[in-house]
Structure 1
């Protein structure tokens, strides 16, 4: 059986991550408070932001920017989205 967490994005009990997504306290916080679904949605948003804005993960300012956008995403606050992205039609 998978573990559940009270997801801070969706404000309900949902399936949690199998392991912390990154080392340290931030990874543990995400593991404890973010659902697998919310994390996967963030990963998609993050990839679009990195590609659209040509962010380098070697640049500490770019990493800080993504960290701030991630917090906004999980807190249901306005966050930057990739401009011009149109989801594929199903």
Structure 2
């Protein structure tokens, strides 16, 4: 049976991550409070943000922006929108 964690994103017990996704204290905090599903959803959004905004993660301001958006996403706060993305839920078939 897999480990579970009370996910702060979904506010329920869910499957836990296998290991800390980041080094240090922040990684340990995420490991203890974020589910595998929430982290996977964040990774998808993060990838879209990096691509759309053409972020260079070698630059400190880009890394800071991504970390701020991650905190917002995991805490159920509004994040910046990815304007070019259309959710499959929003597609209307004719």
| TM-score tier (shorter) | over 0.9
Contiguous gaps of at least 5 residues in structure 1: none
Mapping for residues 1-90 of structure 1, pairs under 5 Å: 1-87=1-87
Q: CA RMSD in A?
A: 1.0
Q: Any conservation in 2 of the 1:5–1:34 contact (CA below 8 Å)?
A: yes
Distance in 2 between residues matched to 1:51 and 1:84, nearest whole Å = 10
Structure 2 unmatched ranges of 5 or more: none
Q: State TM-score, norm by structure 2.
A: 0.90
Bigger Cα Rg:
2
Stretches of 4+ aligned residues off by more than 6 angstroms:
none
**TM superposition shift of 1:22:** 1.2
Tell me the number of residue pairs that the alignment of Structure 1 and Structure 2 aligns. 89
CA contact (8 A) 1:9 1:74 kept: yes
